[in-house]
Amino acid sequence: MNKLKILVIEDDLIWQLKLQMMLEQLNIGTIMLASNLAEAQQLLSTQLPDLVIADIVMPDGIVFTILTKNYRQLPVIYQTGYSQEGFLKKALAMPNIGFLMKPFERFALQATIEVLLSKVRASTDMPSDSISVIGKHKHRIDVSLEGIYWVKAEGNYSIINTIDQKYVLKRSLRKVGDDLTVSFIQIHKSYIINVKYVERIGEAEVYINRQSIPIGRKYRKVLFEAMRGNY
């Protein structure tokens, strides 16, 4: 297993220390520690980890509030001492998750990490670095994620914009977002953009390929954090 950057989000300092010791014994990478959501958000905006191990209930909120909105593609192992079905349902809404009930031992942690990362690697090896759309002549076209500049919602449809083409996909923006990489963030209720192609940021819009795309007020902070994390 390659060395990983692992973010641990845990407010119980004793359990945080135990997790740190288990991970150090596994010798699988560097460890970043956050004791609340504010610290976790700061670390996530500074450097994206390869894996997140997160308690669900934190003193300043529920961890889903940051992970399910802005970092859906990250592999996350949720750990909790609360056996609530609602937590499991929210966790399963994300594409790359594992789930552990506290307390657990090193072997359970190791097995969960390896199963989750194997799943992520398998999905990455498949042609999931592209989105399949139906072309004008009813044939399938695989649009590379790398070549997507932004995606716009049109009702239950999504319009994929590349440098010189537009493709219509019969899927909601939220569902399309599940298939995108961490280079993509939502900046408006109707727009997801690839931050790699942002040319400049105005007062209420970003510019990609010389096109103006609006920024929703509640998404502005997320955009700036993503830009700091990528540049």
Summarised one tens digit per residue, pLDDT across range 38-71 is: 999 889 888 888 899 999 888 888 888 888 766 7
Rounded to whole angstroms, the Cα distance separating 114 from 128 reads: 20
Rounded to whole angstroms, the Cα distance separating 95 from 67 reads: 12
Rounded to whole angstroms, the Cα distance separating 42 from 64 reads: 16
Q: Which residues, other chains included, contact 138 with Cβ-Cβ below 8 Å and sequence gap of 6+?
A: none
- Confirm if 100 and 79 have CB atoms less than 8 A apart: yes
Please give the pLDDT value at position 15.
94
Residues of the chain with pLDDT under 50: 126-127, 231
10 phi-psi bin (left φ>0, alpha ψ -120 to 50, beta other): beta
Q: Which residue has the tokens 């398998």?
A: 122
Please give the pLDDT value at position 126.
46
Please give the pLDDT value at position 164.
83
Please give the pLDDT value at position 94.
72
Please give the pLDDT value at position 127.
42
Instruction: Enter the pTM of the model.
Output: 0.54
> What's the chain look like in SS3?
CCCEEEEEECCCHHHHHHHHHHHHHHCCEEEEEECCHHHHHHHHHHCCCCEEEEECEECCEECHHHHHHHCCCCCEEEEECCCCHHHHHHHHCCCCEEEEECCCCHHHHHHHHHHHHHHHHHHHHCCCCEEEEECCCCCEEEEEHHHCCEEEEECCEEEEECCCCEEEECCCHHHHHHCCCCCEEEEECCEEEEHHHEEEECCCEEEECCEEEECCHHHHHHHHHHHHHHC
Please give the pLDDT value at position 226.
75
